Copies of this chain bind each other. A is one copy, B any other.
């Protein structure tokens, strides 16, 4: 890869586009965040959208652009399949798709795919980039050690890393369950807002950690409210605790690793840190999601096959 060209990385998901401009050593010079997610781009005008948001960054030609996330899905600009796990950064980069574009050397990174021991296929797109970012940030001693990368969200992902490879991962429907139950089920009726209540959250976490009977505990978010044992203003935190505790408990049954890196916004990271502490994790670190994306895009751009310096 020619060192003289400037690298631009893009984390292009369903809802947002996050762009990073790097110097030659991978230091992020500038970041742009736009609500121009793949689902918001009309009629496949991805190139025009990207051009508009890059703006003056394109003055410093030649540029190389590396994108990851939903932009590589069937609904995106150009499909870049899934790299099968176990996969290291080189295996991911090897499946990058080159996009024919006057913008320069544009690559779209693949997602990652696993067939778990439980028989299910699982996939991710964009999170694999953050995982390699976490690794290359060396945010924690023992970079090649086994660890879990926890990525809370609508569909939370727990990724197990060993020796620099993604070996396994699992998706939990936690965030969507929370939203759907709060908005559309009987549980939401007793709730008064969703302000954080530390005690109710911890109670929920401890209950589902101790007993994984989630559909029982979910109903308790009604009965505990009806009997005034949890206040209406605390019920949303209780529900959140139940769901996060169930997720952490399930993940712990899959592995003995008790060292985790949380990649999340500050609020979600705080809740997950509490849950992991209650569950007995011995090492917990938190990494900002945007920083993980930036570091991962740099890492994967530098793992692209050697012929990738050729401009189209």
A-to-B contact residues, CB < 8 Å:
118-123, 155, 170-174, 176-177, 180-181, 183-186, 207, 211-216, 218-220, 223-224, 226-227, 229, 243, 246-247, 249-250, 253
Contacts and interface: CB of A to CB of B under 8 A. Distances in A.
22 contacts: A118-B211, A119-B207, A120-B220, A121-B223, A121-B224, A121-B229, A122-B219, A123-B223, A123-B226, A170-B216, A171-B216, A171-B219, A172-B215, A173-B185, A174-B215, A176-B185, A177-B215, A180-B184, A212-B212, A215-B243, A215-B247, A215-B250
Contact of A212 (B119, B173, B186, B213): B213
A136 B284 CA distance: 57
Given A180-B181, A180-B184, A211 B122 contact: no
Contacts of A185: 173, 176-177, 180
Contacts of A253: 211, 213
Nearest to A181: B180
A119 to B, nearest CB: 8
A308 B170 CA distance: 60
5 nearest CB pairs, A to B = A213-B250, A212-B212, A172-B215, A173-B219, A214-B214
A278 to B, nearest CB: 16
Given A211-B253, A213-B253, A177 B220 contact: no
Question: Looking at A184, A212, A216, A220, which has the most chain B CB atoms within 10 Å of its CB?
Answer: A216
A213 B218 CA distance: 14
Identical chains in the assembly:
2
Contacts of A243: 215
A216 B180 contact: no
A148 B307 CA distance: 67
A275 to B, nearest CB: 13
A34 to B, nearest CB: 24
Contacts of A246: 213-215
Given A121-B229, A213-B212, A219 B172 contact: yes
A173 B173 CA distance: 16
B224 A120 contact: yes
Nearest to A157: B219
Given A120-B220, A213-B253, 6 more contacts: A118-B207, A122-B219, A180-B185, A212-B214, A215-B250, A216-B250
Nearest to A174: B215
A272 to B, nearest CB: 14
A214 B216 CA distance: 11
A220 B215 CA distance: 17
A219 B253 CA distance: 17
Contact of A183 (B119, B171, B184, B226): B184
Contacts of A174: 215
Contacts of A186: 176
